[in-house]
């Protein structure tokens, strides 16, 4: 937690070019930032009041010290001495207690504001389309949600209170110094600013060296991660790059030696400069106070009180010199958060959603004249495609990679919206359905089934939180995963590991199928659900998928044509268009595109379709 008078970084700062660019691209209105504090204005006002009170109480100490030195001790006035010393101790205790209260209140306000921003941003990001997460690096999303908002703790409880405290302290100190000695105050105003500026320049130099050292350290860590991980070592051994990697590591480590030496030397210069200045300024004050021509009859107590005040004004002035960089850095953090909060979802929730009952749904899926063009593309990924899947029937989509199959699957589950046309479930446009209602109607099993880093039970309950253990075991049984889970020492409480890596691809697929069974959707989308599996595992998963699809409306994106021979209709796509359709026998009889795909599927080394 920041102390009163400190800066968020603990050292003078320079405005980052990245922060400037961020604010230039996404400017932040001060009113929008202040609005975050409006619900807590009472607490904010109390914090500001405490800061002002602490500054005023702090100014009383030098005057009490003057009383002790000039009157109480020379006159041996014990009551005055005891009263003055008691007041000094009492003020110190009160200031410290107020500091604790201020810290607690500022931290509480900061945490509440961060909580509001964090939850609002998390909710808003969940409403973004799949395309947003495809275009945006996962690390960037996590950085803004976690790191940027965490960094705002310093802004909310450090920068704001620091600026208020520094302004109050400097103003009160200057007034007190002028009251004690206008002549010495003039000397201080002449000598102190150049000293502050010189110290700041030395500190800025050290910060630049430190930043370069941090970048070099990051490069060093990156090389360790790249070359000493399992994958990196395997690559180095197979490509014979170990020697080059060692040479690059040695070069980076050598650069770090020079930077460390420069950093230490710059730090020593900074310390030497500050110590010299701190010694010179009081010496000049003592000289002026001691010369008969300039002393003006100043007492020893006044001189001690003045030098005490003068020493205490240095750090607040340094803090105020950093206000511009602190302000830009703080606004840049808000800009990064607001930039995401201002994103309009590509797939928005309906303003007036239609009401549906998943249990009463027939399961009719209609894709009518849809075209899709992705942002930045020069042609449609899907062009004027119509596919109808009657309740309880199965339609398969086949075609080469890039033919538009998965785009249609994404339309059915509304991961994307069509550029034109419509997708309907039981006559209701999916754009008129709430996401929660649509997910109850349309279940998806894809080739990249995802399991959270939690227990099997928690992963299954994500589909239906009220499911009993009997429900879970029944779903696992249908998915042909019950024996697998029962054979684990911890059963349903087994943690699956990051992305389910504790299990094989086929096992993950069967657990995902069990999860979809618990959801019990009337419409099922199977998006190349077995494409990454070996033949033996595929048979087991296909058996589980067959049980899952029984009695449901099913749209299948096929990788191996052998898995969809029994589909009621097969739709062949190429270049985003439907080129053939019919059942397996009819399409084979055409001897066209489907027949060619089937021939490749029979090849011992088939090309992907």
- Looking at domain 8-180+322-344, what is its CATH homologous superfamily? ABC transporter type 1, transmembrane domain (1.20.1560.10)
- Residue 606 has what pLDDT? 44
User: Does the 360-602 domain belong in CATH 3.40.50.300?
Assistant: yes
Domains of the chain by residue range: 8-180+322-344, 182-297, 360-602
Q: Which residue has the higher pLDDT, 578 or 128?
A: 578
CA–CA separation, 520 and 471 (whole Å):
12
Torsion-angle region of residue 117: left (phi > 0), alpha (psi -120 to 50) or beta? alpha
220-224, 259-263, 275-279: which has the minimum mean pLDDT?
275-279
Which positions ≥6 away from 119 have C-beta within 8 Å? Answer: none
Torsion-angle region of residue 488: left (phi > 0), alpha (psi -120 to 50) or beta? beta
115-124, 181-190, 276-285, 315-324: which has the minimum mean pLDDT?
315-324
- Residue 1 has what pLDDT? 33
- Residue 206 has what pLDDT? 63
- 200 — pLDDT class (breaks 50, 70, 90): low
Neighbours of 220 (CB within 10 A): 16
227-231, 249-253, 357-361: which has the minimum mean pLDDT?
227-231
Segment 50-56 mean pLDDT = 87
Segment 134-151 mean pLDDT = 76
Torsion-angle region of residue 199: left (phi > 0), alpha (psi -120 to 50) or beta? alpha
- What is the rounded average pLDDT for all residues in the chain? 80
Residue with structure tokens 């808003």? 124
For 426-472, what is each residue's pLDDT tens digit? Answer: 989 999 998 888 888 898 888 777 888 889 999 999 888 999 999 99
The percentage of residues in the chain with a pLDDT greater than 90, rounded to a whole number, is 12
Segment 254-271 mean pLDDT = 71
Q: Which residue has the higher pLDDT, 24 or 385?
A: 385
Cβ 553 vs Cβ 393: under 8 Å: yes
pLDDT for 352 beyond 60: yes
Note every long-range contact of 255-263, with CB atoms under 8 Å and residues 24 or more positions apart, other chains counting: 255/216, 256/213, 256/216, 256/217, 256/220, 259/209, 259/212, 259/213, 259/216, 260/213, 262/209, 263/206, 263/209, 263/210, 263/213
Tell me if domain 8-180+322-344 and domain 360-602 are identical in fold: no
- Residue 577 has what pLDDT? 92
pLDDT for 565 beyond 70: yes
CA–CA separation, 507 and 325 (whole Å):
54
CA–CA separation, 603 and 596 (whole Å):
11
To the nearest 10 degrees (0 to 180), the angle between helices 323-341 and 30-37 is 80
Segment 43-49 mean pLDDT = 88
For 204-233, what is each residue's pLDDT tens digit? Answer: 666 667 667 767 777 777 778 777 776 777
Segment 134-163 mean pLDDT = 74
Segment 380-403 mean pLDDT = 90
Cβ 438 vs Cβ 431: under 8 Å: no
pLDDT for 603 beyond 70: no
Percentage helix, strand, coil for the chain under 3-state DSSP, each rounded to 5: 65, 10, 25
- Residue 191 has what pLDDT? 63
Q: Which residue has the higher pLDDT, 584 or 316?
A: 584
């Amino acid at each position: 937690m920041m102390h009163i008078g400190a800066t968020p970084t603990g050292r003078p700062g320079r405005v980052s070019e990245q922060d400037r660019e961020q604010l230039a691209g996404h400017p932040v209105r001060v009113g929008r930032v202040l609005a975050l504090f409006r619900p807590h204005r009472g607490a904010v006002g109390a914090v500001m009041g405490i800061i002002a009170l602490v500054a005023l109480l702090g100014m009383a100490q030098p005057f009490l010290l003057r009383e002790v030195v000039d009157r109480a001790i020379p006159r041996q006035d014990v009551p005055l001495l005891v009263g003055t010393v008691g007041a000094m101790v009492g003020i110190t205790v009160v200031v410290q207690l107020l500091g604790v209260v201020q810290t607690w209140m500022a931290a509480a306000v900061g945490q509440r504001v961060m909580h509001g921003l964090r939850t609002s941003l998390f909710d808003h990001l969940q409403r973004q389309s799949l395309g947003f997460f495809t275009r945006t690096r996962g690390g960037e999303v996590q950085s803004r949600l976690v790191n940027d908002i965490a960094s705002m703790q310093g802004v909310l409880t450090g920068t704001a209170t620091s600026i208020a405290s520094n302004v109050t302290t400097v103003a009160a100190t200057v007034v007190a110094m002028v009251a004690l000695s206008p002549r010495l105050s003039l000397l201080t105003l002449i000598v102190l600013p150049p000293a502050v500026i010189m110290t700041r320049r030395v500190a800025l130099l050290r910060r630049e060296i430190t930043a370069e050292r941090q970048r070099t350290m990051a490069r060093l860590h990156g090389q360790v991660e790249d070359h000493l991980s399992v994958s990196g070592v395997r690559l180095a051994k197979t490509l014979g790059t170990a020697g080059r990697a060692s040479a690059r590591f040695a070069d980076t480590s050598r650069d770090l030696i020079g930077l460390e030496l420069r950093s230490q030397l710059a730090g020593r210069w900074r310390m030497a400069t500050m110590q010299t200045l701190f010694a010179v300024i009081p010496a000049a004050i003592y000289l002026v106070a001691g010369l008969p021509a300039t002393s003006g009859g100043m007492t020893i107590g006044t001189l001690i009180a003045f030098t005490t005040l003068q020493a205490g004004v240095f750090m607040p002035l340094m803090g105020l010199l950093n206000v511009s960089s602190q302000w830009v850095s703080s606004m840049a953090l808000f800009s990064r958060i607001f930039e995401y909060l201002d994103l309009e979802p590509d797939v928005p929730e309906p303003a007036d959603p239609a009401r549906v009952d998943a249990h009463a749904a027939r399961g009719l899926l209609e894709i009518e004249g849809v075209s899709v063009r992705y942002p930045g593309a020069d042609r449609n990924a899907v062009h004027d495609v119509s596919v109808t899947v009657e309740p309880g029937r199965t339609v398969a989509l086949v075609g080469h990679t890039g033919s538009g199959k998965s785009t249609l699957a994404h339309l059915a589950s509304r991961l994307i919206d069509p550029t034109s046309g419509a997708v309907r479930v039981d006559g209701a446009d999916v754009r008129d359905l709430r996401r929660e209602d649509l997910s109850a109607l349309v279940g998806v099993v894809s080739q990249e089934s995802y399991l959270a880093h939690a227990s099997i039970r928690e992963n299954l309950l994500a589909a239906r939180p009220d499911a009993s253990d009997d429900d879970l075991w029944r779903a696992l049984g249908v998915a042909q995963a019950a024996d697998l889970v029962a054979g684990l020492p911890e059963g349903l409480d087994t943690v699956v590991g990051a992305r389910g890596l504790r299990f094989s691809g086929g096992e993950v697929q069967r657990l995902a199928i069990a999860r979809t069974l618990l959801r019990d959707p009337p419409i099922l989308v199977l998006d190349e659900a077995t494409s990454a599996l070996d033949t033996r595992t595929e048979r087991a998963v296909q058996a589980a998928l067959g049980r899952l699809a029984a009695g449901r409306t099913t749209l299948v994106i096929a990788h191996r044509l052998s898995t969809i021979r029994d589909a009621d209709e097969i739709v062949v796509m190429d270049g985003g268009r439907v080129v053939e359709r019919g059942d397996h026998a009819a399409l084979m009889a055409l001897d066209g595109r489907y027949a060619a795909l089937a021939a490749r599927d029979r090849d011992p080394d088939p090309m992907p379709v």
